[in-house]
């Protein structure tokens, strides 16, 4: 018997069956997607672990099953221009302990404290309370103590060479060389400025150990050698520096001065031959426990501090006038011009006077040569007023005042020069003879060199060469000409005038029989809280020789000498003593 099924029911059944198949297919597709996603996740994780994270995991595995002994790179040496070693290294070591490899902590602590001259409690606490599995006990241990420990054959005790800096000449070139930290990193001076060259790259020795850090018998060791630091050769000459050290020490003692500083440069290149700042300290025993004192004694005053130069600045004013005269500037004075004999000038209602004292208010009529010989302020006031502030500031900029010189040294000051827009006539008048302007000793030495070497300004520098321990030269530093300040003819005229200052003027205390010495004295009052500090002066002298072919230029600055304070009698004699020493050690023949 056939069962009759209505047409509508048949169609609904087919629809339902189609829906079931569709849902099943979707579920199956979703399952396949989920499986594929999980597979991709696992595959991605494997890729991340093996490729991206693999190196890190491998390093962790190596760390778990190996222990390393660092090989500290030997710090590069610092030598003078002739190869005299000024900064070297001593053979010292670091002692460290792997705590889990120690068999008896008390016995080891007792032995280490006695041999290394440490407190027992300190060593014991380091071995028992520190979280790290590897403990540094002491650095910079001399090899005699290491030999004593090696004889006792303690397990878990290891040794590595470290960097112990040594300065063979103690209190010598202190503010230039600088010092290093106990970890051998440069902290000041050239040690800091050239640290990336001097430091080198450390190496290490890897030993196979068990999980607690005990070395495996027969385990292999891997050796990664250290790359020692590069050596640097200075422009400084040990002989000249030694002469300056002695002279400035004497100046401090005789004049009971606050400080005594001296820089010697080659005026033809601005290579620094000596740079001495007193007081100083022993580089092998820096006062690390007194940071204030350490920072003060480490500061290089000739590079980082500024002062009013006084009459030594008149070299610039004279050079500017001579150059402008040669160029046909009608405002400039002839070198033979005779200036007003009055010892006063009134600028904007303010009196500017000469340092000399005459009852009649006048002194002899002088030319520019006489003005330099007698350091007469009014003559230089006349020059500045005639040239005008735009021209004067042109030369201030050409001689690099108000800007850093570019010395290879940290912390160089740029000086203090009033903006030209703010300069009043009375300011310009005082700038002409070295007031209302502040400079560094380095700036003044380099500027004076440019005035007398033919008119060329060279960037001062301290390092002439960087080279490896096997003699391969990494870098050679050559003199760098920055700009021309005056013509060669103007320079020759200024040179002759400054030679006469020493031969017959205020610089006579720098005169050396048979040798052509030139220079200019300076005496400046000091200011405190904007007013003149009574009885406080800066005495200075800048000079050079031989005047006909300058080779050594020196600047001496004595700060706050007690008693006599004129640069001619306080500073000039020390330049002469250093020049005489150079003549002797370099065996220089008298001038023709």
Strands 456-458 and 463-467: unpaired
DSSP H or E stretch at residue 445: helix 441-452
Q: Check whether the bond before 305 is cis (ω within 30° of 0).
A: no
In whole angstroms, what is the distance from residue 238 CA to residue 7 CA? 119
Sign of CA dihedral 404, 407, 413, 417: negative
Q: Coil, helix or strand for 253?
A: helix
Q: DSSP letter string over 356-424?
A: S--TTSB-----HHHHHHTT-HHHHHHHHHHH-HHHHHHHHHHTTTTS----SSTT----B---GGG--
**156 contact partners, CB below 8 Å, separation of at least 6:** 97, 98, 99, 100, 101, 102, 103, 108, 214
In whole angstroms, what is the distance from residue 402 CA to residue 415 CA? 5
**Contact (Cβ atoms closer than 8 angstroms) between residue 543 and residue 510:** yes
In whole angstroms, what is the distance from residue 330 CA to residue 37 CA? 92
Sign of CA dihedral 251, 78, 413, 435: positive
Q: Coil, helix or strand for 43?
A: helix
- Cβ atoms within 10 A of the Cβ of 143, count? 14
In whole angstroms, what is the distance from residue 245 CA to residue 462 CA? 17
**471 contact partners, CB below 8 Å, separation of at least 6:** none
**Contact (Cβ atoms closer than 8 angstroms) between residue 372 and residue 318:** yes
Strands 259-266 and 552-559: antiparallel
**Contact (Cβ atoms closer than 8 angstroms) between residue 416 and residue 308:** no
Q: Coil, helix or strand for 142?
A: strand
Residue 400 in tokens: 């690099």
Distances (CA, A) of 277 to 170, 252, 442, 585, 591: 14, 10, 12, 22, 31
Residue 350 in tokens: 């303010």
Active site members: 311
Distances (CA, A) of 325 to 330, 337, 340, 372, 392: 7, 11, 19, 17, 13
Task: Give the alpha-carbon dihedral of 311, 312, 317, 318, to 10 degrees.
Answer: 100
Strands 463-467 and 473-476: antiparallel
Closest CA to 102 of 155, 152, 148, 52: 155
């Amino acid at each position: 018997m056939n069962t009759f099924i209505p047409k509508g029911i048949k169609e609904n059944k087919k629809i339902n069956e189609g829906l079931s198949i569709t849902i099943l297919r979707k579920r199956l597709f979703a399952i396949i997607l989920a499986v594929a996603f999980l597979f991709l996740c696992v595959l991605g994780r494997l890729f991340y672990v093996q490729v991206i994270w693999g190196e890190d995991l491998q390093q962790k595995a190596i760390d778990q099953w190996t222990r390393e002994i660092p090989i500290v790179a030997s710090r590069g040496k610092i030598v003078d221009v002739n190869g005299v070693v000024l900064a070297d290294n001593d053979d010292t070591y670091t002692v460290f302990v792997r705590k889990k490899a120690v068999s008896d902590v008390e016995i080891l602590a007792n032995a280490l404290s006695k041999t290394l001259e440490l407190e027992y409690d300190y060593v014991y606490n380091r071995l028992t309370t520190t979280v790290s599995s590897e403990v540094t006990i002491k650095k910079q241990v001399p090899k005699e103590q290491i030999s004593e420990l090696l004889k006792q054959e303690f397990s878990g005790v290891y040794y590595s060479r470290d960097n112990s800096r040594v300065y063979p000449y103690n209190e010598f070139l202190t503010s230039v060389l600088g010092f290093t930290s106990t970890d051998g990193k440069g902290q000041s001076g050239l040690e800091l400025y050239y640290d990336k060259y001097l430091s080198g790259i450390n190496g290490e020795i890897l030993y196979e150990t068990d999980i607690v850090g005990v070395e495996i018998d027969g385990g292999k060791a891997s050796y990664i050698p250290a790359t020692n630091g590069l050596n640097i050769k200075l422009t400084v000459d040990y002989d000249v520096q030694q002469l300056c050290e002695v002279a400035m020490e004497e100046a401090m003692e005789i004049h009971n001065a606050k400080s005594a500083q001296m820089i010697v440069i080659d005026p033809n290149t601005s290579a620094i031959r000596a740079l001495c700042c007193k007081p100083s300290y022993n580089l092998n025993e820096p006062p690390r426990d007194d940071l204030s004192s350490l920072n003060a004694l480490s500061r290089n005053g000739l590079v980082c501090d500024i002062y009013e130069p006084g009459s030594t600045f008149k070299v610039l004013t004279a050079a500017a006038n001579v150059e402008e005269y040669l160029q046909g500037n009608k405002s400039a004075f002839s070198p033979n011009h005779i200036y007003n004999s009055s010892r006063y000038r009134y600028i904007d209602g303010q009196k500017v006077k000469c340092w000399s004292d005459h009852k009649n208010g006048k002194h002899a009529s002088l030319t520019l040569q006489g003005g330099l010989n007698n350091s007469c302020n009014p003559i230089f006031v006349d020059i500045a007023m005639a040239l005008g502030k735009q021209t004067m500031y042109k030369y201030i900029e050409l001689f690099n005042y108000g800007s850093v010189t570019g010395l290879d040294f940290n912390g160089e000051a740029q000086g203090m020069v009033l903006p030209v827009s703010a300069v009043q006539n009375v300011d310009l008048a005082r700038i002409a003879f070295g007031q209302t302007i502040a400079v560094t000793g380095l700036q003044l030495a380099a500027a004076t060199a440019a005035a007398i070497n033919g008119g060329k300004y060279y960037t001062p520098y301290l390092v002439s060469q960087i080279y490896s321990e096997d003699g391969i030269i990494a870098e050679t530093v050559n003199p760098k000409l920055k700009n021309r300040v005056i013509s060669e003819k103007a320079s020759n005229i200024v040179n002759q005038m400054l030679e006469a200052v020493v031969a017959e003027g205020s610089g006579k205390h720098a005169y050396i029989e048979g040798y052509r010495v030139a220079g200019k004295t300076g005496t400046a009052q000091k200011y405190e809280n904007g007013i003149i500090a009574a009885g406080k002066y800066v005495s200075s002298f800048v000079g050079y020789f031989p005047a006909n072919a300058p080779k050594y230029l020196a600047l001496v600055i004595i700060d706050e000498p007690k008693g006599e304070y004129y640069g001619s009698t306080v500073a000039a004699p020390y330049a002469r003593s250093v020049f005489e020493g150079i003549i002797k050690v370099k065996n220089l023949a008298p001038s023709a």
